[in-house]
Structure 1
C-alpha cells in the first residue's frame, strides 16, 4: 500500500479502534470516577460526566490531527537530515513510510490492555494514566520518580527503539546506503528534535508543577 492518504485513513481508524478498546476493556471511565470521588462531591462528578459525554466526539477529531501533525513533522526532519548529507529522496516517500512506521505505536496500546487485564488486575486510574509500555519509567515505577522526569523515562521504551531501527533500515534501503548510515541520519535529525522536545517538556513540567 503506497498511497499515503489510504495509509493515513487506515492508521486513523486503527488508532481510534485501539483507543476505544483500551477505554472499554479497562473500564477507564469507571476508574476515573472512582478516583475523582476521593476528592470531589457527587454533584461535581455528575457535572464532569455530563461534560465528558458532550465532548466525547472531540477524541475522534483529535486522533487524525495528532497523527498527521506528528508524521509530517518527523518526515520533515528526516527529509532535512537526508538533504544535509546530500542524499536524494522525495518527501512523499519519507512521509509514506513515516505513516507506515506509526503503526508500531499501536502495539503499546495492545500491550497495556493485556498487562492490566491479565497481569496487574488490581490497579487504579493513576496506574493506567502513568503507565508506559516497556519503558524505563515502568521498570523504575512512577511512584519513585519526580513528575518532571516522567516524560523522558516514558520516551525511553522498546517501541521507540524499534521505531528508530525501522526508520534507519528504510532510509538505508531507499538511499541505497546501509542501516548504519540511516541510523546516523535518524539520530541527527529526528533524534535531535526529540531530545529538544523532551527537554522543553521537562522544563515546562518543572516550572508548572
Structure 2
C-alpha cells in the first residue's frame, strides 16, 4: 500500500522519530551508574564525574546534530538514486526519489526500538560498550565485538537485515517511479546507492584506522 504524504510531513515525522529515539535511549538506558560501572577500570571517580557533567552540559547537542545528519543522509541517498535513474532511464526525478527515500528511512527506527527494549527488559546488566556494539540482526553478532578491531565494527553493523529490507523498499519504489521490473530497479539501487554506501563505509573504516591508533 502506497502512503501519500507531502515531503514536509514525512521529514517532520522522521525528525520526531529521531528525537524520540534519542530521548528514550538516554532516559531508559543511560544513567550515572552505567558510566561508573563501565568506566571505573579506566578512569578515576572524579574523572567519571567530570564526564557525566560534560554530558549534562552538552545533552542538547545530539538533538540538533542527528536531524542534520539525517538530512545529509537523505540527500546523499536521493542524489545517488536519482543519478542512477538518470543513467539507466535518461530521466531525473529527484523529488519523487527524495520522498521514496524518506519513507524507506523509517525501517531503521525498528532496530533502534529493539535496542531500547532489549537492554531495558532482556539484557539489563549491560555496559556502554554493549550499547555501542549492539545492532539487532546484524553480522557483528557472529563475532565477539570486544575482540574485533575498531575499523570492523561499523561495516559489520551495516551488514544487517534492516539494510537489506531498505534496499528492497528502495528498489520497489524505483520500480514504480520509472515503471520497470523489480530486478532492473534493484540493479539501479545496487549500482547507485550501493556504490555510495561502499564509499561511505570505506571512509569510516579509513578514519577509524587513522585516528583509532593515535
- TM class, shorter-length: over 0.9
2:199 is equivalent to residue 189 of structure 1: no
What is residue 148 of structure 1 aligned with on the other side? 151
What is residue 141 of structure 2 aligned with on the other side? 138
List aligned pairs for 1:1-209, cutoff 5 A: 1-209=4-212
CA deviation vs aligned residue, 1:58-114 (integer Å, no higher than 9, x gap)? 111112101110000100000000001125352111111111111111001111122
- Larger displacement relative to structure 2 (155-164 or 34-43): 34-43
Residues 29, 120 of structure 2: 8 Å contact kept: yes
**Separation (CA, whole Å) in 1 of partners of 2:32 and 2:72:** 28
TM-score (norm: length of structure 2): 0.91
Q: Let me know the Cα RMSD of the aligned residues.
A: 1.6
Residues 151, 206 of structure 2: 8 Å contact kept: yes
What's the offset of the Cα at 1:174?
1.4
Compared CA separation, residues 28 and 101, structure 1 to 2 (3 A): farther
Give the unaligned 5+ runs of structure 1.
Answer: none
- Larger displacement relative to structure 2 (158-167 or 120-129): 120-129
Residues 172, 179 of structure 1: 8 Å contact kept: yes
TM-score (norm: length of structure 1): 0.93
**Separation (CA, whole Å) in 2 of partners of 1:29 and 1:62:** 23
Residues 74, 98 of structure 2: 8 Å contact kept: yes
Give the unaligned 5+ runs of structure 2.
Answer: none
Aligned length: 209
